[in-house]
Amino acid sequence: MNPLEHLDPAIVKAARVLGLFALLGMGTVGVFHAMTAGRIAANERAILLHSLQALVPAERCDNDMLTDRLEIFDPEALGSRQEVPVYRARKSGEPVAAVFASVAPDGYNGDIKLLVAINADGSLAGVRVVGHKETPGLGDGVEASRSNWIHRFTGLSLSDPAEAQWKVRRDGGRFDQFAGATITPRAVVKAVYKTLLYFRAHREALFTEPAIETEEAP
Amino acid sequence: MTPEYRKIAHNGLWKNNQALVALLGMCPLMAVSNTVINALGLGLATTATLVASNALISAIREQVSDEVRLPVFVLVIAAIVTVVELTMNAFLHELYLILGIFIPLIVTNCSIIGRAEAFAAKNPVKQSAADGLFMGLGFTLVLVVLGAMREGLGTGAVFAHAELMFGDYAKTWAITLFDDYEGFLLAVLPPGAFIGLGFIIAGKNLIDGWLARRKKAGIAMMSMTRHTAPTG
């Protein structure tokens, strides 16, 4: 017998309508997802590639940095409780640079996401802030579009300045803070310094380790 | 425009403006009105959602019984917002990255379910779509005015980063209002949004008061003219 028989027909009808709309809604979203997924993935790759090439220009390497990628889990050194992608640049198979998506976890307002590009010789090819929630007008001077501060890192290494000098001026180091904002630059300097230390300790493995398999089609 | 649609337009843009009178959707209004382009992007996304949700909900209003009306409306709105989000992610990717969480949060903008309940559930499709359009445009207008105030006062320029929305040829659209401007941080920070919105609401009330006085004076004048000869 029909188990729905004893129910109020109005309830059964309402449930049917609700179920129908749930299916329709899911179907619509599914269709749009399928239609846009490829384009969205391409957008994300293009944005990432653009920011990587700002640090390691295309003419310096001949591999696909996006796929020549490692994922490293080291919250202490790289600042993130998740795996941090490392993109490797090579020319004719020789290591050119490694770009770490490090995180400065102690910003004024949460994580500051960085890209730290380190040349094979251990000097910095450049640093960029790719995401942060610092105070507009004060801490956001770390953005390349707001001030030149972040460009100061280019060419520096663990020997220039000396390791003890990898601090903001207020802490006795070599890096300027901003008027009204010390915490943000301090966090960035610390994260860059820690990434350099990680690179020095793992330089060999960083370039010899095989790239991880990517699911996304290029 | 027929009087019916004129009334809908007047309601959406002015009399029952979602941001200034109904005070709905405050959270995105405050958060995203820091530049004109951000404001315009979120405003248009909200408008698209409102038109689609009002039209769809009006189309299904006969089939949906009262008991399940609200869950069905929420389902429809959630599906539409997800579609808008995916579309923006695919075609306006950089703007999407800036607006971030506020695109999916359009679903929680009370003015959308509010218009569904107050208008679309009781009116035919065409009128409901028009209501969605004008309510959305009214919201967008306030967002853009507030965005222009905050961006202009805060950074001394407006229309910066127009290329995020209109493509590379819009890179030159930025208008510098004051040269060598130091910036006024308060305008860009959240309090600037509250203060700015306060001024806009005060401005609307001033205009409304002035219109009401003029109308009253007009009526008084008319009743006088019945007894006195018009002088021109």
- A152: distance to nearest CA of chain B, Å? 23
Within 13 Å of residue A178, how many CA atoms lie on the same side as its CB? 23
| Cα–Cα distance for residue pair B165/B174, rounded to 1 Å | 13
Residues 17-36 of B with CB under 8 A from A: 34
d(CA B117, CA A11): 21
Phi, psi of B176 (to 5 degrees): -85, 120
Neighbouring-strand partners of residue A124: A118
Q: Is A172 left (phi over 0), alpha (psi -120 to 50) or beta?
A: left
Query: What pLDDT, on the 0 to 100 scale, is given for residue B177?
Result: 78
ipTM of the complex in this document:
0.73
- Inter-chain contact A17–B90, Cβ cutoff 8 Å? no
Question: What would you report as the CA-atom Rg of chain B, rounded to the nearest whole angstrom?
Answer: 21
Q: Report the alpha-carbon angle B80-B83-B88, nearest 5.
A: 125
Question: Any idea where the domains of chain B sit in the sequence?
Answer: 3-228
What token pair was written down for B102? 């506020």
**pLDDT tens readout for residues B206-232:** 999 999 998 888 877 666 655 554 444
* Residue-by-residue DSSP string for A24-88: HHHHHHHHHHHHHHHHHHHHHHHHHHHHHHHHS-GGG--S-TTTSEEEE--HHHH--SSPEEEEE
Determine contact: B11 vs chain A, CB below 8 A.
Answer: no
pLDDT band at A218 (very low <50, low <70, confident <90, very high): very low
Task: Reduce the DSSP state of residue A1 to 3 states and report it.
Answer: coil
CB B58 within 8 A of CB B222: no
Angle (CA) B126-B132-B136 rounded to 5° is 150
Statement: residue A212 has pLDDT above 80: yes
The predicted structure's pLDDT at residue A190: 95
Q: What is the pLDDT of residue A138?
A: 80
pLDDT at A200 over 70: yes
- Is pLDDT of A149 > 50? yes
Question: What would the mean pLDDT of B44-70 be, rounded to a whole number?
Answer: 91
Q: What share of chain B is helix, strand, coil (3-state, %, to 5)?
A: 75, 0, 20
Task: Find all residues with CB under 8 Å of B215, minimum gap 6, and list them.
Answer: none
Residue whose tokens read 């300027």? A176
CB–CB contact A29 B90 (8 Å):
no
Q: Is the pLDDT of residue A7 over 80?
A: no
Give me the pLDDT at residue B185, please.
77
Shortest distance between the Cα of B155 and any Cα of chain A, in A, equals 9
pLDDT in tens, A111-132: 999 999 999 999 999 999 988 8
* Lowest mean pLDDT segment, chosen from A59-63, B21-25, B36-40: B21-25
Confidence of residue B28 (pLDDT cuts 50, 70, 90): confident
Residues of A in contact with B82 (CB under 8 A): 29, 32
For the cut 90, the answer to whether the pLDDT of residue B172 exceeds it is no
Residue A170 has pLDDT above 80, yes or no: yes
DSSP annotation of A182 reads -
Report the DSSP pairing between strands B175-176 and A69-72.
unpaired
- Beta carbons within 10 angstroms of residue B98's beta carbon: 17
Q: Does B188 touch chain A if contact means CB atoms closer than 8 Å?
A: yes
The confidence score (pLDDT) of residue B66 equals 84
Encode burial over A38-72: b for 16+ CB neighbours within 10 A, e otherwise. Answer: eebeebeeeebeebbbebbeeeebebebbebbbeb
End-to-end, the C-alpha distance of chain B in Å comes to: 31
Q: What is the pLDDT of residues B93-108, one digit of tens each?
A: 888 888 877 888 888 8
Q: A10, B79: Cβ pair inside 8 Å?
A: no
Per-residue pLDDT, B224: 62
Enter the DSSP assignment of A173. Answer: S
The whole-number pLDDT of residue A2 equals: 66
Task: Please state, in angstroms and rounded to a whole number, the distance separating the CA atoms of residues A159 and A122.
Answer: 9
- State the Cα–Cα distance between residues B213 and B88, nearest whole angstrom: 45
A180 interface with B at CB cutoff 8 Å: no
Q: B121-158: per-residue pLDDT in tens?
A: 999 999 999 999 999 999 999 999 999 999 888 888 88
Contact A43 B34 (CB under 8 A): no
Answer whether B84's CB lies under 8 Å from B103's CB.
Answer: yes
Check residue A3 and give its pLDDT.
Answer: 65
Higher-pLDDT residue of A216 and B103 is B103
What percentage of residues in chain A have a pLDDT greater than 70? 95
CB-based contact (8 Å) between A47 and chain B?
yes
Chain A residue with CA closest to B95: the answer is A43
